[in-house]
Amino acid sequence: MVFIVVVIAIFLIDQLSKYFVNKKYIEGKQKELIKDKVFIYNCKNEGAAYGFLKNRPIILKIVSISCLVSLIYYFISALAENKSFGTKLSLSLILGGAFGNIYDRFKKGSVTDFIYINIKNSPIFNFADAFIVIGTIIYLYKSIFFKKNN
Protein backbone atom coordinates (compact mmCIF):
# COMPACT_ATOMS: atom_id res chain seq x y z
CA MET A 1 0.00 0.00 0.00
CA VAL A 2 2.84 2.39 0.82
CA PHE A 3 4.15 2.17 -2.74
CA ILE A 4 0.78 3.14 -4.21
CA VAL A 5 0.83 6.17 -1.90
CA VAL A 6 4.31 7.01 -3.25
CA VAL A 7 2.98 6.89 -6.84
CA ILE A 8 0.08 9.20 -5.93
CA ALA A 9 2.31 11.58 -3.95
CA ILE A 10 4.76 11.92 -6.83
CA PHE A 11 1.94 12.55 -9.28
CA LEU A 12 0.53 15.26 -6.99
CA ILE A 13 3.94 16.90 -6.39
CA ASP A 14 4.51 17.00 -10.13
CA GLN A 15 1.07 18.37 -10.99
CA LEU A 16 1.09 20.99 -8.21
CA SER A 17 4.56 22.19 -9.21
CA LYS A 18 3.50 22.53 -12.86
CA TYR A 19 0.33 24.35 -11.82
CA PHE A 20 2.36 26.77 -9.68
CA VAL A 21 4.90 27.42 -12.44
CA ASN A 22 2.18 28.00 -15.04
CA LYS A 23 0.39 30.46 -12.74
CA LYS A 24 3.46 32.35 -11.51
CA TYR A 25 5.92 32.34 -14.44
CA ILE A 26 5.41 33.52 -17.98
CA GLU A 27 6.10 30.90 -20.63
CA GLY A 28 9.42 31.48 -22.35
CA LYS A 29 10.85 33.65 -19.55
CA GLN A 30 13.39 32.53 -17.01
CA LYS A 31 13.86 33.40 -13.35
CA GLU A 32 17.25 32.91 -11.72
CA LEU A 33 17.15 30.92 -8.47
CA ILE A 34 20.87 30.35 -7.89
CA LYS A 35 23.23 32.81 -9.57
CA ASP A 36 24.17 31.60 -13.05
CA LYS A 37 23.39 27.98 -12.09
CA VAL A 38 19.71 27.17 -11.51
CA PHE A 39 16.73 28.77 -13.21
CA ILE A 40 12.98 28.37 -13.51
CA TYR A 41 12.22 28.47 -17.21
CA ASN A 42 8.60 27.76 -18.06
CA CYS A 43 8.41 25.97 -21.40
CA LYS A 44 6.15 23.47 -23.08
CA ASN A 45 7.57 20.24 -24.49
CA GLU A 46 5.36 18.61 -27.10
CA GLY A 47 7.70 15.63 -27.38
CA ALA A 48 9.53 13.25 -25.10
CA ALA A 49 13.07 13.90 -23.80
CA TYR A 50 14.83 16.63 -25.80
CA GLY A 51 11.64 17.02 -27.88
CA PHE A 52 11.90 13.50 -29.33
CA LEU A 53 8.81 12.66 -31.45
CA LYS A 54 7.36 16.18 -31.03
CA ASN A 55 6.26 16.17 -34.66
CA ARG A 56 4.67 12.72 -34.24
CA PRO A 57 2.09 13.20 -31.46
CA ILE A 58 0.09 10.05 -32.25
CA ILE A 59 3.20 7.85 -32.19
CA LEU A 60 4.34 9.56 -28.97
CA LYS A 61 0.97 8.86 -27.33
CA ILE A 62 1.01 5.22 -28.46
CA VAL A 63 4.56 4.73 -27.17
CA SER A 64 3.66 6.52 -23.91
CA ILE A 65 0.60 4.37 -23.28
CA SER A 66 2.48 1.19 -24.18
CA CYS A 67 5.25 2.05 -21.72
CA LEU A 68 2.73 3.00 -19.04
CA VAL A 69 0.81 -0.28 -19.42
CA SER A 70 4.07 -2.23 -19.20
CA LEU A 71 5.12 -0.27 -16.11
CA ILE A 72 1.76 -0.84 -14.42
CA TYR A 73 1.98 -4.57 -15.16
CA TYR A 74 5.52 -4.81 -13.80
CA PHE A 75 4.63 -2.70 -10.76
CA ILE A 76 1.63 -4.89 -9.91
CA SER A 77 3.76 -8.01 -10.45
CA ALA A 78 6.48 -6.63 -8.17
CA LEU A 79 3.90 -5.98 -5.44
CA ALA A 80 2.25 -9.41 -5.87
CA GLU A 81 5.58 -11.25 -5.87
CA ASN A 82 6.83 -9.19 -2.93
CA LYS A 83 9.94 -8.06 -4.79
CA SER A 84 12.57 -6.13 -2.84
CA PHE A 85 11.93 -2.74 -1.29
CA GLY A 86 14.34 -1.15 -3.78
CA THR A 87 12.55 -2.63 -6.77
CA LYS A 88 9.12 -1.54 -5.55
CA LEU A 89 10.39 1.94 -4.62
CA SER A 90 12.12 2.45 -7.95
CA LEU A 91 9.03 1.37 -9.88
CA SER A 92 6.89 3.67 -7.71
CA LEU A 93 9.10 6.65 -8.57
CA ILE A 94 9.10 5.84 -12.28
CA LEU A 95 5.35 5.20 -12.38
CA GLY A 96 4.47 8.39 -10.47
CA GLY A 97 6.60 10.44 -12.85
CA ALA A 98 5.20 8.67 -15.90
CA PHE A 99 1.63 9.37 -14.79
CA GLY A 100 2.48 13.05 -14.31
CA ASN A 101 3.90 13.51 -17.79
CA ILE A 102 1.35 11.33 -19.59
CA TYR A 103 -1.49 13.18 -17.88
CA ASP A 104 -0.13 16.47 -19.25
CA ARG A 105 0.51 15.03 -22.69
CA PHE A 106 -3.08 13.83 -23.03
CA LYS A 107 -4.84 16.69 -21.24
CA LYS A 108 -2.81 19.64 -22.54
CA GLY A 109 -0.98 18.28 -25.58
CA SER A 110 2.38 19.14 -24.03
CA VAL A 111 4.38 18.71 -20.85
CA THR A 112 5.43 21.70 -18.74
CA ASP A 113 9.16 21.68 -18.12
CA PHE A 114 10.65 24.33 -15.87
CA ILE A 115 13.86 23.34 -14.06
CA TYR A 116 17.02 24.42 -15.84
CA ILE A 117 20.49 23.77 -14.45
CA ASN A 118 23.14 25.68 -16.37
CA ILE A 119 25.41 22.82 -17.40
CA LYS A 120 26.47 22.12 -20.98
CA ASN A 121 23.64 20.45 -22.96
CA SER A 122 21.41 20.26 -19.89
CA PRO A 123 17.72 19.73 -20.66
CA ILE A 124 14.91 21.68 -19.09
CA PHE A 125 12.95 19.20 -16.99
CA ASN A 126 10.26 18.84 -14.32
CA PHE A 127 9.76 16.84 -11.13
CA ALA A 128 8.21 13.91 -13.03
CA ASP A 129 11.36 13.66 -15.15
CA ALA A 130 13.55 13.83 -12.04
CA PHE A 131 11.61 11.05 -10.31
CA ILE A 132 11.78 8.88 -13.44
CA VAL A 133 15.56 9.31 -13.59
CA ILE A 134 16.02 8.69 -9.86
CA GLY A 135 13.79 5.60 -10.03
CA THR A 136 15.70 4.29 -13.04
CA ILE A 137 19.06 4.79 -11.29
CA ILE A 138 17.81 2.95 -8.20
CA TYR A 139 16.42 0.14 -10.34
CA LEU A 140 19.64 -0.25 -12.34
CA TYR A 141 21.80 -0.12 -9.21
CA LYS A 142 19.59 -2.71 -7.53
CA SER A 143 19.62 -4.94 -10.62
CA ILE A 144 23.38 -4.79 -11.07
CA PHE A 145 24.56 -5.14 -7.48
CA PHE A 146 21.75 -7.07 -5.77
CA LYS A 147 20.56 -9.98 -7.88
CA LYS A 148 18.50 -11.77 -5.22
CA ASN A 149 14.74 -10.97 -5.14
CA ASN A 150 15.08 -8.18 -7.62
Active site residue ranges: 113, 129
C-alpha dihedral over 127, 133, 136, 138, to 10 degrees?
-80
Kindly state the helix (H) or strand (E) to which residue 117 belongs, with its residue range. strand 111-117
Report the candidate in 78, 76, 52, 77 with the shortest Cα–Cα distance to residue 63: 52
Measure the CA–CA gap between 100 and 107, rounded to whole angstroms. 11
Q: How far is CA 128 from CA 81, 92, 94, in A?
A: 26, 12, 8
CA-based angle 137:87:70, to the nearest 5?
90
